[in-house]
């Protein structure tokens, strides 16, 4: 199930399913202004600035905003304000039938990976991993960020995903499958729940902001132990800010993954086109992709927006 593409003049709804946003936050204001200057009308959810619990809005408040935005026929896309820690709290209160009956663009990153994968798993709606309002559009987006957003969500462009920096072959091979994943820490919040997607014949993509090699190890081993590595076809590792910026780091996430999965032969490709504090492409969660670790290429194979 795919959404309709964006066009100038369309209404974009903004929600805060994870960390709260301060009403006077300059990056939030910058992000709203940026989207407005792109030609969109931006509307904020009723609870965008709610901090009822002192660290987040109530789960029902978060869900109410998402349900309302999906139900509102005038809203053509929903973009999350930012990530954080508690996006999974709202899952029991989402109206899956409303979401399924009103397919539209749902975009976010980091903790929003929880919702990107859960919405796809529950409804079949293709969601999008990419820049949020505050840390993406509110923080000096690069020409790459803007072009990838426009290509995917406005022009409905598929095919090769443009590289922004050098890519690296970690384990040789090619794979095709449905794209699932996002932030590794946040994806694991779904493990063992009814919201965890089926990883049969999939390509997993993972990134993290602050993570240690031993943390990568235990999460990859958990994925192995719940059978994910037995069912999927390949892995793309994105930009890992803490490890890639640590001059003393002797192991990167892809090195740990290679060690943990030594008994497997699926391809692993290291890229830098998605993650925290880097230029981000816009990736369709739930669409078929092809990855070529040897040719260091990523290709979206099917229409992800109409």
CATH of the domain at 82: 3.40.50.10740
Residues 76 and 140 in one domain: yes
Q: Residue 62 and residue 45: Cα distance in Å, rounded? A: 9
Answer whether residue 306 is part of any domain: no
Strand order in the sheet with 41-44: 41-44, 11-15, 75-80, 105-108, 127-129, 283-285
Residue 193 · residue 170 · CB < 8 Å: no
Instruction: Report pLDDT for 203.
Output: 98
Query: CB of 14 within 8 A of CB of 45?
Result: yes
Q: Phi, psi at residue 82, to the nearest 5°?
A: -165, 175
**Whether residue 119 sits in one domain with residue 210:** no
Q: Domain check: are 165 and 121 in the same one?
A: no
Would you call 284 exposed, middle or buried from its count of C-beta atoms within 10 A (0-12, 13-18, 19+)? buried
Same domain, 284 and 168: yes
Select from 110, 130, 153 the last residue of a domain.
Answer: 153
Residue 113 lies in a domain: yes
**Are 79 and 113 part of one and the same domain?**
yes
Report the alpha-carbon distance of residue 48 to residue 19 in Å, rounded.
10
One domain for residues 47 and 94? yes
Are residue 149 and residue 257 in the same domain, yes or no? Answer: no
In a domain, 293, yes or no: yes
Looking at the structure, tell me whether residues 19 and 124 fall in a common domain.
yes
Same domain, 163 and 81: no
Q: Is 3 inside any structural domain?
A: no
Residue 122: phi and psi, rounded to 5, are -85, -30
* Residue 246 lies in domain: 159-300
CA 53 from chain centre, in angstroms, equals 25
Q: Which residue has the tokens 């060690």?
A: 259
- pLDDT given at position 249: 86
Do the domain assignments include residue 130?
A: yes
Using alpha carbons, list the distances in angstroms from residue 257 to 66, 101, 186, 189, 253. 35, 38, 17, 19, 6
Same domain as 180, residue 291: yes
| Shared-domain flag, residues 285 and 186 | yes
Whichever domain contains 183, its CATH number is 3.50.30.60
| Domain limit, last residue, from 99, 132, 153 | 153
Give the global pTM: 0.97
Q: Does residue 2 lie within any of the structural domains?
A: no
Domain end, chosen from 123, 153, 183, is at 153
pLDDT score recorded for residue 144: 98
Domain assignment present for residue 21? The answer is: yes
62 plus 132 within the same structural domain: yes
- 3-state SS, residue 144: helix
One digit per residue, the tens of pLDDT, for the chain of length 306 reads: 999 999 999 999 999 999 999 999 999 999 999 999 999 999 999 999 999 999 999 999 999 999 999 999 999 999 999 999 999 999 999 999 999 999 999 999 999 999 999 999 999 999 999 999 999 999 999 999 999 999 999 999 999 999 999 999 999 999 999 999 999 999 999 999 999 999 999 999 999 999 999 999 999 999 999 999 999 999 999 999 999 999 988 999 999 999 999 999 999 999 999 999 999 999 999 999 999 999 999 999 999 999
Q: How many domains does the chain have?
A: 2
Q: Running DSSP on this structure, what letter comes out for residue 3?
A: B
Instruction: Give me the residue label for tokens 């099917």.
Output: 302
* 5 located within any domain: no
Question: What's the pLDDT at 159?
Answer: 97
């Amino acid at each position: 199930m795919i959404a309709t593409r964006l066009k100038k003049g369309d209404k974009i709804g903004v929600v805060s399913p994870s960390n709260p946003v301060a009403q006077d936050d300059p990056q939030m204001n910058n992000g709203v202004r940026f989207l407005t200057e792109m030609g969109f009308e931006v509307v904020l959810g009723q609870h965008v600035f709610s901090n009822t619990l002192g660290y987040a809005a109530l789960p029902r408040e978060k869900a109410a905003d998402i349900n309302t935005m999906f139900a509102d026929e005038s809203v053509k896309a929903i973009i999350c304000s930012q990530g954080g820690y508690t996006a999974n709290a709202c899952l029991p209160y989402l109206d899956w039938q409303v979401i399924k009956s009103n397919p539209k663009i749902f975009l976010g990153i980091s903790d929003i990976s929880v919702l990107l994968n859960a919405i796809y798993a529950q409804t079949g709606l293709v969601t999008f991993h990419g820049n949020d309002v505050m840390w993406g559009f509110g923080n000096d987006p690069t020409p790459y960020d803007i072009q990838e957003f426009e290509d995917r969500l406005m022009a409905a462009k598929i095919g090769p995903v443009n590289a922004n920096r050098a890519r690296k072959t970690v384990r040789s091979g090619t794979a095709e499958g449905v794209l699932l994943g996002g932030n590794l820490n946040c994806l694991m919040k779904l493990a063992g729940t009814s919201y965890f997607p089926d990883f049969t014949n999939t390509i997993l993509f993972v990134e993290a902001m602050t993570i240690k090699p031993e943390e990568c190890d235990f999460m990859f081993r958990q994925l192995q132990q719940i059978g994910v590595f037995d069912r999927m076809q390949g892995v793309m590792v994105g930009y890992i800010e803490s490890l890639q910026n640590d001059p003393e780091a002797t192991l990167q996430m892809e090195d740990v993954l290679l060690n943990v999965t030594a008994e497997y032969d699926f391809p692993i490709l290291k890229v830098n086109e998605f993650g925290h504090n880097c230029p981000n492409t816009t990736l369709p969660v739930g669409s078929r992709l092809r990855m070529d670790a040897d040719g260091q290429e990523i290709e979206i194979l099917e229409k992800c927006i109409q």
